[in-house]
């Protein structure tokens, strides 16, 4: 088994992980990033128009820029999966399946494994993802100016997403499987009062369709005498699944929704273990590239101070 020694290991190669790597090597930390891909969720995004300083860029190009930047500064970026993170005295032993990095000993770990969008699991969803199906109203809403769209869900992200979309779209439907919302009542009241927003309650999507892009959805019951609704876009806002299983054995603390609890320096309750990005409860859980990158930078600085003064 190959054994390697670094100061810092970063789990995950998205915006948070690569931002952390960029800052960490500038602190002269021997840094390795292990990830099954480099780019994370932005690889699923065709166009990004909210990254400061760049009016428009594809997700694949921006992720490549992140990766090239981290490599150019000297970070080791390794493809693979982390299988286990174990605490050994004041350090960590990390087991991976990456060739040449099967066992890595480090002084600090930053978890940036992110969270997966919950999917609807319906016919046509996979095929039309990125072609009218989106999982982030804040990210993609501007592409649907003067279009007819729907938001699926009943939590805060769904209702605030509907309100955000209404500033650009011609019409917004909120489709919710229940007759009550989990969202804050003030958000629901604001949405109900908005002239562009209509509610379709106790209803599920069972299919989405279109030739090269989304054109319609099929409901499990009729709405205004038809179960077929013509739409230009559907925003699935039914929650996330934080990727936290890897560190549960360490005794980390979670909030009531399963996200890692972190302090303002991105530290967890386990000394030397930090976390950044969508896996945490930080930045008011505003899951955006800019907040993920910021948290990654903060985690790098905090890791440096932990290593320097422990």
Q: Is the pLDDT of residue 136 over 90?
A: no
State pLDDT tens for residues 227-284: 999 999 999 999 878 888 899 999 999 998 889 999 999 999 999 999 999 999 999 8
Contact present, 151 and 137 (Cβ < 8 Å): yes
Mean pLDDT of 8-32: 97
Q: Terminus-to-terminus CA distance in the chain, angstroms?
A: 29
pLDDT attached to residue 156: 86
d(CA 127, CA 209): 9
Homologous superfamily of 3-117+240-309: FAD/NAD(P)-binding domain (3.50.50.60)
Mean pLDDT of 284-291: 87
Q: SS3 for 279? A: coil
pLDDT attached to residue 3: 62
Q: Which of 20-24, 148-152, 240-244, 300-304 has the lowest mean pLDDT?
A: 240-244
Question: Per the residue annotation, which of 7, 20, 136, 232 is the catalytic one?
Answer: 136
Q: Is 97 a catalytic residue?
A: no
Question: Per the residue annotation, which of 140, 156, 179, 222 is the catalytic one?
Answer: 140
pLDDT attached to residue 301: 98
Mean pLDDT of 51-60: 90
Which uninterrupted H or E stretch holds 158? Answer: helix 156-166
pLDDT attached to residue 1: 52
The confidence band for 48, taking pLDDT boundaries of 50, 70 and 90, is: confident
pLDDT attached to residue 40: 77
State the fold for domain 125-236.
FAD/NAD(P)-binding domain (3.50.50)
State pLDDT tens for residues 176-209: 999 999 898 999 999 999 999 999 999 999 999 9
Helix, strand, coil percent content, the chain, rounded in steps of 5: 30, 30, 40
Domain range list for the chain: 3-117+240-309, 125-236
Give the highest mean pLDDT range of 41-50, 55-64, 252-261, 268-277. 268-277
d(CA 133, CA 235): 6
Question: Per the residue annotation, which of 20, 139, 232, 278 is the catalytic one?
Answer: 139
The confidence band for 152, taking pLDDT boundaries of 50, 70 and 90, is: very high
pLDDT attached to residue 58: 87
pTM above 0.85, yes or no: no
Q: Is 20 a catalytic residue?
A: no
Give the highest mean pLDDT range of 3-7, 94-98, 239-243. 94-98
Contact present, 190 and 163 (Cβ < 8 Å): yes
Of residues 130 and 300, more confidence is placed in 300
Contact present, 274 and 253 (Cβ < 8 Å): no
* Crossing angle (nearest 10°) for helices 15-26 and 59-73: 20
Q: SS3 for 196? A: coil
Give long-range contacts, CB 8 A cutoff, 24+ apart: 304-309. Answer: 304/24, 304/27, 304/29, 306/107, 306/108, 306/267, 306/271, 306/272, 306/274, 307/7, 307/8, 307/29, 307/107, 307/108
In the numeric block, the tokens 């100016």 are attached to: 145
The confidence band for 78, taking pLDDT boundaries of 50, 70 and 90, is: very high
Q: Do 3-117+240-309 and 125-236 show the same overall fold?
A: yes
């Amino acid at each position: 088994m190959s054994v390697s020694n670094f100061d810092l290991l970063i789990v995950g190669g998205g915006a948070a992980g690569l931002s952390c790597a960029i800052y960490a090597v500038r602190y002269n930390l021997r840094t390795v990033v292990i990830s099954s891909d480099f780019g994370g969720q932005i690889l699923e995004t065709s166009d990004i128009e909210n990254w400061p300083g760049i009016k428009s860029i594809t997700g694949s190009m921006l992720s490549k820029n992140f990766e090239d930047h981290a490599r150019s500064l000297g970070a080791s970026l390794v493809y693979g999966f982390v299988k286990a993170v174990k605490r050994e005295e004041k350090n960590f032993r990390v087991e991976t399946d990456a060739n040449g990095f099967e066992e890595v000993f480090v002084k600090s770990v930053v978890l940036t494994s992110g969270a997966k969008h919950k999917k609807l699991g319906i016919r046509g969803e996979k095929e039309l993802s990125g072609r009218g199906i989106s999982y982030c109203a804040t990210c993609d809403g501007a592409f649907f100016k003067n279009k007819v769209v729907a938001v699926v869900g009943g939590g805060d992200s769904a209702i605030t997403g509907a309100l955000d979309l209404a500033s650009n779209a011609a019409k917004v439907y909120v489709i919710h499987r229940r007759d009550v919302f989990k969202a804050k009542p003030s958000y629901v009241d604001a949405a109900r009062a908005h002239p562009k927003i209509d509610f379709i309650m106790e209803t599920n999507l069972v299919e989405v369709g279109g030739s090269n892009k989304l054109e319609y959805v099929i409901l499990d019951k009729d709405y205004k005498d038809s179960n077929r609704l013509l739409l230009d876009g559907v925003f699935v806002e039914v929650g996330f699944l934080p990727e936290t299983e890897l560190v549960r054995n360490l005794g980390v603390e979670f909030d009531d929704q399963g996200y890692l609890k972190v302090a303002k320096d991105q530290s967890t309750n386990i000394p030397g273990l930090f976390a950044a990005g969508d896996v945490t409860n930080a930045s008011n859980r505003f899951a955006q590239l800019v907040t993920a990158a910021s948290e990654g930078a903060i985690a790098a600085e905090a890791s440096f101070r932990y290593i320097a003064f422990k």
